[in-house]
Amino acid sequence: MAALVVIGIALPPLGAVMKPYLTASVVGLLCVAFLRIDILAFRAYVRRPGIVLCASAWTSFAIPALIAAGAIALGAESAVPALFLGLMLQAVAPPIMATPAFAALMGLDATLILTTLIVSTAIAPISAPLFVWLLGLDLSLPPLALGLKLYGILAGSALVGLVLRRIVGLAAIMRHRDEIDGINILLLFVFVSAVMGEFGVEFIRRPLLVSGLIVLVFAVFILLLTLTYLVFAAAGRKRAFALGVMTSQRNMGLMIAGTGGILPDLTWLFFAASQFPIYLSPILLQPFAKWIEKRELTVKTRA
């Protein structure tokens, strides 16, 4: 996955070829995610929805409100409107559908993330247009049309994924999980190539700006993860860290698909830079996940 970012940067012509298929790749990724949903695990958390509802409200409403307040306080809204637009589209996006897989790689509670992910994704067609309207963001679509388009993308992907799951069967899905992972990688290749196509060229042309954007996206990533960890620490370190990982990885591809990709150049560049912490997170966060697990085991042993 990390290699995809390198390939996307190293082969700029691919970006122009893949860009028309960006929305299709997002829909494909969502279909695969719904195909692989663990229904039994989902139902277990639905029966005890307290932490799921709190986490969904946090990621869908509190995070966009905090990011908006901070960006406006720093003057980004008026000074750099295209960057403010990128920050807000990132903030209002639900977490990426690959987060449960990332969590599983790090030994975290993938079921909690999956359940919260489903709820927050279902909320997105309401919460995202609400913030777009409140903040007066300049998009190609009015807020209501954006909400309807997001609902169509999510509902259509869920329908296709769940129908395929019903036809193919869980046993076959488990048996062919490597092949499904391969399909995911191919779809991610299309998405990353489309988003990262101009990144290397822009870095050569405007190194200070692009370097600043990379620093900014990592700062936002760390901020969201840390805030979420502190807010949910009472639920246990591992749960809080899992929710932090989920909250820090936003599905900006969905927002690009929802807006039809008609965005300012700086907003596109911000989206491209934001892929770095997402695709590097399983490598970067693994040591922290192991440290938290050791701390929890130590506490249990003492108890």
Which architecture does CATH list for 16-302?
Up-down Bundle (1.20)
Q: What is the pLDDT of residues 6-53, one digit of tens each?
A: 787 777 777 778 878 877 887 887 788 778 776 776 677 677 778 889
* 89: nearest Cα among 63, 117, 113: 63
Domain ranges of the chain: 16-302
Q: What is the pLDDT of residues 176-224, one digit of tens each?
A: 878 887 888 888 888 778 777 778 788 888 889 889 999 999 999 999 9
Amino acid (one-letter) located at 145: A
Q: Cβ atoms within 10 A of the Cβ of 260, count?
A: 14
The model's pTM is 0.79
Q: Cβ atoms within 10 A of the Cβ of 299, count?
A: 11
* Side-chain-side CA neighbours of residue 276 (13 Å): 19
Token digits of residue 35: 């195909």
* 245: nearest Cα among 120, 113, 67: 113
